[in-house]
Structure 1
Amino acid sequence: MKLLFTICGRAGSKGIKNKNAENFIDKPLALYTLSVIDLYLKKSSYSADIVVNTDSEELIEIFNNNSLRPVDIIERTPELAGDNVAKIDVIQNCLEVMEERNGNYDLVIDLDITSPLRTVKDLDAMIEKKLTTDYELIFSVTDARRNPYFNMVMKTQYGYDRVIRSNFNTRQEAPEIYDMNASIYVYSREFLHRKVGLFEGKCGIHKMFDTGVLDLDHENDLFLMEVIAKYLFENNEEFGEVYHNI
């Protein structure tokens, strides 16, 4: 089994300035992603390569000088660095370039830089689920705190109404809804080579710790995630090992 781990990050940011190259607590944010990969591979019998796809000189320097594992670098081309480029296009580019260098891979695992709170157990479970099911891709989720069938509303020409009209009177009656938390994606190479949209394949999910990931759009989001992280690192061994491994 041959795995390709992809880490994708652009230079700059419209929310938190240059967030991919920021420090998180007292360590580079980007190295939390590399740390969980390193810990997984220490326990795994699979062969693997790690590639960073970026147009950020700061990120390249962080990864080139890391003490965890060597990584390949793909310097992102301008056509893949725009605001409207889908991340899956960048991951497909990673696979194409790395297969030219090293031959075919069996699975591609993408881990988002701005989701530092994940565990080796999450990563292992998702890879094994992909290997033991017929899903073409598996992505991480959390339980949704709101439900469009019950307590989410939108503006209409008649005022405000449920996002999805229903007669459900309690949350328990409504269908289970999950938030995609953009932390981990596991793809088959065949799916990526088809170059189709994310939901054009057969999708599976893995549910993660529900407060472990926040969208980092503003400075206060980073502060709040650091508060959560300090608690988890001190009180949860599985989260703590990722921090202490850096």
Structure 2
Amino acid sequence: MKRLLITICGRAGSKGFKNKNLKNFCGKPLVYYSLSAAELFIKKHPELEIDVALNTDSEDLARLVAAEYPEVIYLPRGAELGGDRVPKVEVYKDSFARMEARTGKQYDAMIDLDITSPLRTEQDIENAFAKAQEREDLQIIFSVCEARRNPWFNMFKIVGDHAEMVIESQFTGRQQAPEVYDVNASIYVIRRAFLVDNPDPILWHSKFGVSVMMDTGIIDIDSEHDYLLMEAIAQHLYAHYPEFSAVRENIRG
């Protein structure tokens, strides 16, 4: 891969946590953490041609990004891609097609960094990108963390008037069951072929791989409680793991 597009995608508003993409996290704008991690990755790869784009229907978010990261290309999101029912892959395809048309380049792949994942290190991006480099047969690399529950051992579903195992098995210990992972929605590395030639809107219908991240750094921010808990975790990580504090220290402004 020689040409990459890094995308930051964020909707205006939020049902679960109002205007979460505009919040400050540990004193800095939440979106700046993704931009800072992207900048560290770009600095580490001078051999690559990398552009960064923001796809959003929030003018407030666009102004916030432009204030400190003016090189980021703003892609105003159309109404047809608004709301929470539109598959995010459609936003990815829209970003990719518009950036190729705008720059006249063909990107080899896109790396999407979720705004609500501020506790992501440059090495996390590096690991996901390296996995994509190693495995040309994989269309997508998902960032994941080790699951704390396993559907073959200690997860159950309600069937009628009782509960049953999600997947029936005879395992007597979790270590015997197949390894499973939680998709943490922090990093996606997606090859051009999927974005240009694949009409399927379901990401995991492709042949994909995973890149494992530290699970304590990832919580879906869907409420004020999630947000406050993640800030508390951040203080621990910043104090004991330099790779996390490096992203915060690199934030502009």
TM score, norm. by length of structure 1: 0.97
Cα separation, 1, equivalents of 2:81 and 2:155: 34
Calculate percent identity across the aligned residue pairs: 47
Partner of 2:211: 206
Partner of 1:241: 246
Instruction: Name stretches of at least 5 consecutive residues in structure 2 with no aligned partner.
Output: none
1:158 deviates by 4.2
Deviation string, structure 1 residues 80-139 (Cα, Å, up to 9, x no partner): 012211111101000000000112101100010000111111111211221121211101
* Larger mean Cα displacement after TM superposition, 189-198 or 71-80: 189-198
Partner of 2:230: 225
Aligned counterpart for 1:110 among listed residues 103, 109, 112: 112
Cα separation, 2, equivalents of 1:189 and 1:241: 30
1:202 deviates by 1.1
State how 1:45-124 maps to structure 2 within 5 Å: 45-66=47-68, 68=69, 70-102=71-103, 103-124=105-126
Partner of 2:176: 173
1:203 deviates by 0.4
CA contact (8 A) 1:92 1:195 kept: no
Cα separation, 1, equivalents of 2:164 and 2:223: 29
Distance 1:178 1:12, change over 3 A: same
Cα separation, 2, equivalents of 1:195 and 1:97: 17
* Larger mean Cα displacement after TM superposition, 3-12 or 198-207: 198-207
CA contact (8 A) 1:3 1:106 kept: yes
1:200 deviates by 2.3
Cα separation, 2, equivalents of 1:244 and 1:30: 14
Residue identity in the other structure for 1:179? D
Cα separation, 1, equivalents of 2:37 and 2:218: 15
Partner of 2:191: 188
Cα separation, 2, equivalents of 1:16 and 1:230: 22
Residue identity in the other structure for 1:13? S
Partner of 2:147: 144
Following TM superposition, where does structure 1 have runs of at least 4 consecutive aligned residues deviating by more than 3 angstroms?
Answer: none
Deviation string, structure 1 residues 197-239 (Cα, Å, up to 9, x no partner): 2122210000000111001111010000000111111211111
For 2:217, what is the secondary structure of its paired residue? coil
Cα separation, 1, equivalents of 2:239 and 2:175: 34
